[in-house]
Homo-oligomer: A and B are copies of this chain.
Amino acid sequence: MPQPADLERLTTLARPHRDMINIMPLQTGSLLTDAARRALVEFGDGYSVCDFCQGRLTDIANPPVRQFVNEMLPEFLGSERATLTYGARDGVFMVLHSLTKPGDVVVVDGNRHYSTAVAAERAEVELVTVPNSGYPEYTVDAEGFDVALSKQHKVALVILTYPDGRFGNLADAPRVGEIAESLGIPYLVNGAYCVGRMPVRMSELHADFIVGSGHKSMASAGPSGVLGMKARWEEVVLRRSSLHKTKEVECLGCTVRGVPLVTLMASFPSVVERVQHWDEQVAKAQWFSAAMEEIGFRQLGEKPHRHDLMVFETTALYDISQRVRERGYYLYKEMEARGIWGVKPGQTKALELSTFAATREQLKQVVEAFQDILEKYR
């Protein structure tokens, strides 16, 4: 059996950076709201959302999962149907597994998340990539999909990552949709970093599917996600079991049977509200980008930037790492000491950051911290 000391350690797990300024791309969109924190405590026990279940997760009336999934989510996503998933990647796999056969071709943008490639492997389909433009902007041209699709026979699905999770580039998703639509190919938008941050409507993207992530962008605990779709796909992706008529095959019956669903719901009103202020987020991101460039870093990806996810080329910070004892780790430590969370331990050459959760005042502190560190090691 495990050692008592090791077991004891499991009962006192803690996070070290509770009140720090958070600029970690994975985390800025999923800090819980106060309502979600209350829900977390209330529904912490396993299967708590199933108190009044009568056989289908998405039909539960108390808490109002049915209304949330069947009315609110489709309205919010601009889709005709919606369901719950464990996260964006799980939604992508559900669609791949339902629509494709092994050996099929799926066309995807060159900025895709790793999990899209892994989901494709799991579904045994071949990914054909529309490349990005490379350094320094790494943009994906929508017309590249036209070129790729015209070269391929029998493309089963088109996937666009909107925005991608590294550069925060927003490809022309509606145009990709028009191209896919004109060829009669289903089109999935991976909106892990847009659904819950930006206003987005699946219908306006000419998409068949949109996936979102609760624990990336919807102020929710994980694992949780959403999948919106056109009504015509309901019978394919949400097909019912032949033996257990109330259960959906691709969901294995039920998916988020626990507390992440309740945090997703409890934060939803704030999420609906915050996407209305996306223009302020974009202005803040652009202001931050300009401030970072002023102290000598270079923002990669699209300019002017239209998303809070950003990568900065930080050669001066890398140069320092080559001559200090802690090597790349000095930067993480220096930032942590200044109350700033989100620089990955070891990273100095290029920094992936998000401005979503921090105020301008806090972001000013971030820029000053970098400046201060550059001074210190000059």
Contacts and interface: CB of A to CB of B under 8 A. Distances in A.
Nearest to A263: B44
A12 B35 contact: yes
* Range of interface residues on A (Cβ < 8 Å): 35 or more
Nearest to A16: B51
Contact of A221 (B45, B72, B122, B220): B45
Interface string A99-123: 0000000000000001101110110
A89 interface: yes
B115 A253 contact: yes
Copies per complex of this chain: 2
Interface in A151-187: none
Interface in A201-254: 213-216, 218-224, 241-244, 247, 249-250, 252-253
B50 A44 contact: no
A327 interface: no
A367 interface: no
Contacts of A219: 46
Contacts of A72: 2, 6-7
Nearest to A71: B2
A222 B76 CA distance: 25
A30 B10 contact: no
Contact of A7 (B87, B97, B268): B268
Given A45-B30, A46-B30, A118-B244, A223 B255 contact: yes
A336 to B, nearest CB: 11
A377 interface: no
A272 interface: yes
B63 A244 contact: no
Contacts of A268: 7, 10
B13 A29 contact: no
A40 B40 contact: yes
B118 A259 contact: no
Interface string A39-81: 1111111111011101000000001100110011001100000
A39 B13 contact: yes
B215 A47 contact: yes
A210 to B, nearest CB: 17
B115 A259 contact: no
B51 A44 contact: no
A195 to B, nearest CB: 13
Contacts of A6: 64, 67, 71-72
A17 B87 CA distance: 30
A265 to B, nearest CB: 5
A72 B1 CA distance: 8
A48 B249 contact: no
Given A2-B72, A52-B345, A221-B46, A260 B262 contact: no
5 contacts: A2-B76, A10-B35, A13-B265, A46-B216, A221-B258
Given A54-B345, A86-B223, 6 more contacts: A6-B67, A10-B64, A17-B51, A114-B253, A117-B244, A121-B243
Name the 3 nearest CB pairs between A and B, nearest first: A30-B46, A222-B258, A46-B215
